[in-house]
Structure 1
């Protein structure tokens, strides 16, 4: 019998429970989630019938929109007075991360305590720091935000609350997107929740176009140790 449960150890270390991505929405795959304890993630087309998902205990968590940009469609934007750097204080990056990612799908999951959702994003950012996949925005001598990427994917764009609404994010993202295109990628893509309107607007203004959307469902068998 085919195994439809793909372990996600990067989530397990944050939630202190076995975690899986379910690779199919077929009934056979959904049945497999009934046999073990753990937290499960399933991504589906928004037009897919969700009757079986509810039958097997899945609940809606978030929607992800995928903006993409071809190099020839990129619309760069420049602004004076900002600096990009791969040399930064990691504690300042982590401080921004701790505050910036409060609307993600794990924060919206009523089964996951907020402190564990926070830890999941913090762990991810620490991994990206270790892999040297973060570019920092320096403004007025301070770390104002950061951008994380991997190959042709834009993973994170975060601004310190002190510097939001100042028009810095567009110029910052523009510079970083140019850096990725210079690495030889003909197309860049990212994934953004529609609740994050600010990021969506930034990338659309740079020439990104919305290609598709994905609905994300979660399921929990057992319990998550709230004190973990």
Structure 2
């Protein structure tokens, strides 16, 4: 079934608009905004999941059953065309034409340095004394706020970060500086980094493998 045909359902359109505004929603979020029964909304979300428009994850907060969180896939995001990336790309091209390449590099370095400063600010102690779990928890929150829609998991010998969205995706064809500065950001946190997937290469997400830090 073509993607646009799915939007003939007003309820599905409203669910996607809500996810587009918030990034991620729970079933309770949907109930607050959409006047439909809980089973109806759940069925719509499940169907959109089968159709490749919605992905979900469980999220535990305190005691009780974990909540199910829903967000749009990159396929669904294409239903909501945005111009910010294209305008940003034009702006970067203009700066390059004006010989301001250094300014562009400094901007992306500053962007990721600000994210690094924010991670360090939120840690209870210094970066050097923090363990892997402490850094990962703060890292995930900082990336979420920057629009990267991250999935972060700690395994026995590595940390895997998957960024399901990239705010700079539309400009990577013009410059790879965002990716280079991002690599420096991860190296500052974990010492080394390996990128295993890349949205500009056609992957669904950018993925990074980072080492589990040894306790100081």
TM-score range, shorter chain: under 0.3
Q: Which structure has the higher relative contact order (CA within 8 Å, separation 6+)? A: 1
TM-score (norm 1): 0.24
Tell me which protein shows more strand as a share of its residues.
Answer: 1
Tell me which protein shows more helix as a share of its residues.
Answer: 2
